[in-house]
Amino acid sequence: MKLVTAVIKPFKLDDVRESLSEIGVQGITVTEVKGFGRQKGHTELYRGAEYVVDFLPKVKIEVAIGDDMLDRVIEAITKAANTGKIGDGKIFVVALEQAIRIRTGETGTDAI
């Protein structure tokens, strides 16, 4: 199993969610985050005092999937979240050791 984490632009959430659901991914966790990669921030003024806006609003999505789905999931997220402009985000894949469905106690791929 794999845990796929993607940090994307907030307005792309609906597109990504739809394209994941089209390939059969059934669960997703979403968090509002802030971050930056190589995309630089900028300075603004608040009542005349300068402050730095480094962290940009992003959305982090996490999906737990079986190994067989990995390539399709990466492709789905990439296609849906891509705008071609700086700040599109990143996808991280980690090996998921165990998953449990709390209601039924199912484990492994039965749980995701």
8 A C-beta contact, residue 103 and residue 16: no
Return the SS3 of 63: strand
Q: Burial level of 105, CB count in 10 A (0-12/13-18/19+)?
A: exposed
Q: Could you say which of 38, 42, 46, 84 contacts another protein (CB under 8 A)?
A: 46
Select 46 or 84, whichever has its Cβ closest to another protein: 46
Residue 65, Cβ neighbours under 10 Å: how many?
Answer: 25
Of 60, 69, 72, 59, the closest CA to residue 19 belongs to 72
Q: Could you say which of 38, 42, 48, 97 contacts another protein (CB under 8 A)?
A: 48
Which among 2-10, 24-32, 40-48, 77-85 is the span making contact with another protein, rule CB under 8 A? 40-48
Of 88, 86, 65, 64, the closest CA to residue 78 belongs to 88
- Shortest Cβ distance from residue 32 to another protein (Å)? 13
- Shortest Cβ distance from residue 94 to another protein (Å)? 25
String of contacts with another protein for each residue 49-68, x by CB under 8 A: xxx-----------------
- Shortest Cβ distance from residue 54 to another protein (Å)? 13
List interacting residues with another protein (CB under 8 A): 44-51
